């Protein structure tokens, strides 16, 4: 894991650009780039593209935006808004009670299962132990960035 961050606008520890480079045991690599801007006329968007050996996924992170995917040798497919949310419910990926209809589309409230667990006096559906690996990756990215981008092991 290695990382680079820049504070172009001069706000300490508010990264205008953050780049993470990840290498995997099987030889695969991934990169993640996050850019902050102060162009108030442009909305903040969450454009995400994922490429793998036989699959491409794209989403813009807005409630009305599409999730687009294509498997090798197959046509491009896309769902968006409430149709995407309903498809997730129909295939069991999400619960109907987690769906929030918002202007222009629908989205899932990620806190609903947690709030349900608290109300029932049950354990969190996402145990702390499952959240730690993601935090370790972020820590490694910043440790690398603080050391001129030198690789940091996450094993």
Number of domains making up the chain: 1
pLDDT digits (tens, 9 = 90+) for 28-71: 999 999 988 778 787 777 789 999 989 999 998 777 789 999 99
Residue at 7 is within a domain:
yes
DSSP per residue, the chain: -EEEEE-TT--TT--SEEEEEEE-TTS-EEEEEEE----TTS-----EEEE-SSEEEEE--STT-EEEEEETTS--EEEEHHHHHHHHHHTTSS-GGGEEEETTEEEE-TTHHHHHHHHHTPPPSS-HHHHHHHHHHHHHHHHHHHTTT------
Residue at 35 is within a domain:
yes
- Average pLDDT of the segment spanning 10-27: 89
Residue at 19 is within a domain:
yes
Question: Given this model, what pLDDT does residue 45 score?
Answer: 75
Q: What is the pTM of this model?
A: 0.74
Could you tell me the residue range of the domain that residue 33 belongs to?
A: 1-42
pLDDT digits (tens, 9 = 90+) for 113-144: 888 899 999 998 878 888 899 999 999 999 99
């Amino acid at each position: 894991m290695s990382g680079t961050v820049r504070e172009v606008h001069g706000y300490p520890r508010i990264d205008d650009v953050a780049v993470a480079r990840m290498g995997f045991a099987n030889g695969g690599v991934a990169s993640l780039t996050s850019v902050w801007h102060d162009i108030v006329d442009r909305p903040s968007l969450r454009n995400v593209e994922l490429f793998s050996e036989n699959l491409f996924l794209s989403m813009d992170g807005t409630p009305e935006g599409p999730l687009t995917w294509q498997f090798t040798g197959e046509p491009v497919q896309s769902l968006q808004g409430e149709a995407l949310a309903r498809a997730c419910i129909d295939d069991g990926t999400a619960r109907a009670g987690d769906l929030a209809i918002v202007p222009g589309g629908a989205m899932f409230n990620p806190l609903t299962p947690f709030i349900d667990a608290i109300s029932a006096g049950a354990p969190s559906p996402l145990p702390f132990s499952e959240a730690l690996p993601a935090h370790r990756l972020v820590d490694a990215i910043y440790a690398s960035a603080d050391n001129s981008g030198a690789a940091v092991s996450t094993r």
